[in-house]
Structure 1
Amino acid sequence: MRIHLTSVFVDDQDKAERFYTEVLGFTKKHDVPLGAKHRWLTVVSPDEPDGTELLLEPAAHPAARTYRDALVEDGIPLAQFAVDDVTAEYRRLRGLGVRFTQEPVETGPVTTAVLDDTCGNLIQISTTPR
């Protein structure tokens, strides 16, 4: 068994597509229309084009909005992405105008930072030593 797909709920799929591809650097994998308003829109790491897909799922259901908004209010990230160097990625993303709710912090062997994805979510980036 392996993880094939996971999702984040987003306010606006077009905005999410731009942020996750142009800012974070993911590659669009699938973009399939689902009715008049929504799409099956997934992105992947360019380093693993056949790896786990991230579905940029519309936050249309009221429960999704309530859940996501409660996490943001409490400062809890919805997802975590691995990066080679949190501090370098933090600087790169800050240079692109990304807002962070937590600057890089070392907690034991792990360094983390938390960013606002502009689509209603907090995302944690992390580095673990090799």
Structure 2
Amino acid sequence: MRIHLASIFVTDQAQALEFYTTKLGFEKKTEVSMGEFSWLTVVSPEARDGVELVLEPANHRAVGPFRDALVADGIPFTAFAVTDVQAEYERLTGLGVVFTQPPTSMGPVTTAVLDDTCGNLIQIQAMNETPGV
């Protein structure tokens, strides 16, 4: 068994696709029109056959209060791995991405938190090298 799909709720699928592809660097994998919305997924260019991120419409009544509570508490909805958090922070900041937490070392991991413009906070993270390992 393996993870095939992961979902994130977005307020606007077109805006999310733009952000996740042009800013974060993911690639569109699937887009199937389903009336008002689409089955829309993106993947990492480093793993085109890996886990797909579904850009899920946030129109269910439970989504708004849930996401609002996470954002109010500064809790990221999900996390993406990067090689170098500081370099990615600088690249994304240069593209106009807004961060709610700059790169912060937390023992074995360095993290930063960004606003995806579609109602979510997203964490980027990288493992710190452990001396002697």
**TM-score bracket for this pair, using the shorter chain length:** over 0.9
CA distance in 2 between counterparts of 1:98 and 1:33 reads 28
How far apart in 2 are the matches of 1:129 and 1:111? 7
Aligned equivalents of 2:8, 2:24: Cα separation in 1: 14
TM-score of the pair, normalised by structure 1: 0.97
In structure 2, the residue matched to 1:34 is 34
Structure 1 moving runs of 4+ over 4 Å: none
Q: Secondary structure at 2:96's aligned position in 1? A: coil
Conservation of the 8 A alpha-carbon contact between 2:107 and 2:128: no
Paired-residue identity, % = 64
Quote how far apart the aligned CAs of 1:54 are. Answer: 0.2
Partner of 1:25, secondary structure, is: coil
User: Deviation at 1:43?
Assistant: 0.2
Report the 3-state secondary structure (helix = DSSP H, G, I; strand = E; otherwise coil) of the residue aligned with 1:67: helix
Q: Which runs of 5+ in 2 are unaligned?
A: none
For the aligned residue pairs, the C-alpha RMSD in angstroms reads 0.8
User: Does the 8 A contact of 2:83 with 2:126 survive in 1?
Assistant: yes
Q: Provide Cα deviations, 1:41-62, integer angstroms capped at 9, x if missing partner.
A: 0000000000000000000001
Q: Deviations over 1:8-47 (max 9, x none)?
A: 1000000000000010000000000011x10000000000
2:96 aligned partner, one-letter code:
G
Alignment-derived partner of residue 66 in structure 1: 65
SS in 1 for 2:62: helix
- Write the distance in 1 (CA, Å) between the matches of 2:41 and 2:68: 22
CA distance in 1, matches of 2:123, 2:26: 15
Runs (5+) with no aligned partner, structure 1 = none
* Residues 1:92 and 2:88 aligned together: no
What displacement does 1:7 show? Answer: 0.6
**Alpha-carbon contact 2:30-2:40 (below 8 Å) kept:** yes
